[in-house]
Amino acid sequence: MNVDQREIPEQVLADEAAGDDASEAHDVEQEAAKAADIRVLALKAEAAMRVYNAQLVEAWRTIRRRINVSTSTRGVKTWDCTVEATGLSDEEMLRLSDNLVEELERRYPAPLA
């Protein structure tokens, strides 16, 4: 049985149109929720990569200090040192070297002339 739309009451047509609008609004809400979930997952993945990269940098960071202290025949102690590092910035490496020199100067002061 084929029904002509002119025979359907206007209220029924309006209800169907409102139902279509509600369905479309629901679909839009679902798509927005999916997009928000994807953004959250992307942020979590980015944070996890930052942690992983930090751990990776720590894993290949090496520091080697060499200190040679010698005593002359007159009993005067002298020293020299080197600092080698990978995975450090120049500032960090210089800070390590400066701290080492400071400690050696404290332990082995220059002889008074």
Query: pLDDT by residue (tens digit) across 55-64?
Result: 766 667 788 8
pTM: 0.45
- Percentage of the chain beyond pLDDT 90 is 14
The residues, ordered by sequence, that sit 6+ positions from 26 with a Cβ below 8 Å of its Cβ are none
pLDDT tens, 84-95?
Answer: 888 888 898 899
> What's the half-sphere exposure (Cβ side, CA atoms, 13 Å) at 48?
6
What does pLDDT average to over the chain?
80
Q: Is the pLDDT of residue 1 over 80?
A: no
Helix/strand/coil percent split, the chain, to 5:
65, 20, 20
Domain borders along the chain are: 9-57, 61-107
What is the token pair recorded at 20?
């279509």
